[in-house]
Amino acid sequence: MVAVRRSSAVTGYVYAEKDKDPRQLGEAPKSVLGKVGLILSAFRDNDFALSLAELTARTGVAKATVHRLCQELVAGNLLEREGAKYRLGLQLYEIGLRAPRQRTLREAARPVIENLAQKLDNAVNLAVPSGSELLVIENAGRHRNRARSTAGGRRLRLHCSAAGKLTLAMLPEQYPLSTVVPQMDRPTPRTLTPARLPAELARIREQDYAVEVEEARTGYLAVAVPVRGLDHAYLAALAVIAPTAGSSIPRLHSALTEASRAITSRLAIFEAHRAPL
């Protein structure tokens, strides 16, 4: 198996991913903060709780050190104990919600996203650039066939999600292909190959929206449009996920574009109210 380098969104420390089991590359950080960052970053989207052994394996930090730091994190409500395992604490979620830029964006976008999900009868999410990844900060709805939106706090694949491809196209300096290509897998036969990705990103930049049809999951497609600030800077990707059968990409694109403009308008109102007198 080939190990793939992946960056921690908390510390920026790079670790390896082998068979979807991150392990440390190179020398572990010497600072306590760096080790704490590795422990917190060891929890992946589908992890509800991890044992001490799993945390030790994923971080590369000595078992005794991991145990001691976990006890301190539990005391600070950043981790919680569940029997012999640990899970992320509610305090982390509360801290994340206080991030001012994303909090304002979520507040401005939430009613628009809820209305859009109801209108389209499909799942809708809003994802923002976060370090070397793409993080979902708001979501709503599901299709009647139970196709759910990506849960808030989850990270999206960059190369095979509509939101991810849009972000790659809009922020090439933050997401250079040299770091993306080594991580490209093919979850479906329709997933883009590395050779096709540059042309796809050029097309997305030209048309200002992204589409993926069964590249992430067979039977589903997604369309994503940019959400921009008043200075036209790219802030987030607004995406809808729908069954391939019966979905109209032009209709989804039109509804998303209207919703994106509404979010930008609401952001302007929010910022005006919060601006110092």
In whole angstroms, how large is the CA radius of gyration of the chain?
20
| Residues present in the chain in total | 277
Position with higher pLDDT, 207 vs 277: 207
Mean pLDDT of 117-146: 83
Mean pLDDT of 230-236: 91
The pLDDT value recorded for residue 270 is 78
The pLDDT value recorded for residue 125 is 94
The pLDDT value recorded for residue 24 is 39
Distance CA 24, CA 38 (A): 9
CATH superfamily of 99-274: GAF domain (3.30.450.40)
The pLDDT value recorded for residue 15 is 37
Question: One-letter amino acid identity for 141?
Answer: G
Q: Give the pair of three-digit tokens for residue 271.
A: 């910022």
The pLDDT value recorded for residue 238 is 98
pLDDT value at 53 more than 60: yes
Q: Cα 106 vs. chain centroid, distance in angstroms? A: 14
Q: By the 8 A CB rule, do 190 and 206 touch?
A: no
Position with higher pLDDT, 17 vs 33: 33
pLDDT value at 145 more than 50: no
Distance CA 174, CA 179 (A): 10
Output the CATH code of domain 4-95: 1.10.10.10
Mean pLDDT of 104-110: 89
pLDDT value at 3 more than 70: no
The pLDDT value recorded for residue 20 is 38
Banded pLDDT at 16 (limits 50, 70, 90): very low
pLDDT value at 37 more than 80: yes
The pLDDT value recorded for residue 199 is 97
Banded pLDDT at 96 (limits 50, 70, 90): low
Position with higher pLDDT, 124 vs 10: 124
Q: By the 8 A CB rule, do 124 and 116 touch?
A: yes
Mean pLDDT of all residues belonging to the chain: 83
pLDDT value at 12 more than 70: no
The pLDDT value recorded for residue 42 is 87
Mean pLDDT of 30-39: 88
Mean pLDDT of 103-119: 91
Domain boundaries, the chain: 4-95, 99-274
The model's pLDDT over 175-232, given as tens digits with 9 standing for 90+, comes to 999 999 998 999 999 999 999 999 999 999 999 999 999 999 999 999 999 999 988 9
Q: By the 8 A CB rule, do 178 and 225 touch?
A: no
pLDDT value at 22 more than 80: no
